[in-house]
Chain A
Amino acid sequence: GAVVSQHPSRVICKSGTSVKIECRSLDFQATTMFWYRQFPKKSLMLMATSNEGSKATYEQGVEKDKFLINHASLTLSTLTVTSAHPEDSSFYICSATPLTDTQYFGPGTRLTVL
């Protein structure tokens, strides 16, 4: 149980385009989902907290107009990187939590912006 999927697993795009990443909890309802980014050999940095049916809460320094988050249902959250630039290239990981303290992570999405 507690499986989280992400799609796509890998995406390469041109600078200036937008990219949407989906995060789904497959076998539980997630009241809260989190979005992280991770640079090589670095730890996970929380970008935003997403609650179903309400606006996401962004961490300090994260541009909400750049990283659009939608949590449309209890099993789906999406992160859209708008007008992507090479510096947005990173590993993006989502996590989902039912009504417990544990977060279950997706496999991650490798974004490369050319």
Chain B
Amino acid sequence: SQKIEQNSEALNIQEGKTATLTCNYTNYSPAYLQWYRQDPGRGPVFLLLIRENEKEKRKERLKVTFDTTLKQSLFHITASQPADSATYLCALEGSGNTGKLIFGQGTTLQVKP
């Protein structure tokens, strides 16, 4: 079955540094992958979508890569700020072209001033 793994340990970095979060998946070849941000007690907020034929996508200080050979996506936040502290969820397109998403467990990022 499809499996998604994100580093369950919290990532602590200093303000201004680049945060890099990892999403690995197995037993599947999704047509696209998405990253969401979730703050405590709130619903996820869409950040970026990257398709299987795209190697890299950027949006302001965010960058996502998608390596279909390694079955891995990396999510980077450059010049990180304390306001970037949140849990970041990786989500893959589910099988069957139903629009379903399968979520990883998320990685919590803490940016210290």
Contact = CB atoms under 8 A, between A and B. Distances in A.
B104 A107 contact: no
Interface string A1-42: 010101000000000000000000000000010100000001
A24 B60 CA distance: 29
A1 B82 CA distance: 26
B42 interface: yes
Interface residues of A, number: 24
Contacts of A93: 43-44
Interface residues of B, number: 21
B89 A44 contact: yes
Given A32-B99, A43-B106, A44-B89, A103 B43 contact: no
Interface of A: 2, 4, 6, 32, 34, 42-44, 46, 49, 57, 91, 93, 95, 97, 101-108, 110
Interface of B: 32, 34, 36, 41-46, 49, 89, 93, 98-106
